[in-house]
Amino acid sequence: MLDRDDLWRRYVTLPPDAQREVVDFLAFLAARLQRSRPPASARELADEAFVGMWSDRSDIANGAGWVREVRGREWSETDG
């Protein structure tokens, strides 16, 4: 296996089009690996910054009910 310095030397000697292909391939591999990760556990999700961000909102005390109500209003069929 190549060490970082050898890999970099090989990369910088490539023409610009080939360098773009390398970058695209790395992005492809990263996306594929991201998709293959197991789902986050509930504990990991609870540690995310967005969890509880509206906890001080008195108008959204029941978040799931609020979402159902909004969806019902917005997605109901109208007589046009």
- For the chain, the distance separating the N- and C-terminal CA atoms, rounded to the nearest angstrom, is 65
Q: What is the pLDDT along the chain (80 residues), one digit of tens a residue?
A: 789 999 999 999 999 999 999 999 999 999 888 777 776 676 777 788 888 777 787 877 787 888 888 889 888 766 44
Model pLDDT, residue 51: 80
**DSSP letter, residue 60:** G
Predicted pLDDT at 15? 95
For the chain, the structural domain boundaries read 4-36, 42-75
Alpha helices per DSSP H over the chain: 4-12, 16-36, 42-46, 63-75
The predicted structure's pLDDT at residue 18: 95
pTM of the model: 0.43
Alpha-carbon distance 16 to 39, whole Å?
Answer: 37
pLDDT at 48: 81
63, 54 contact by CB (below 8 A): yes
Query: Distance between CA atoms of 74 and 62, rounded to whole angstroms?
Result: 18
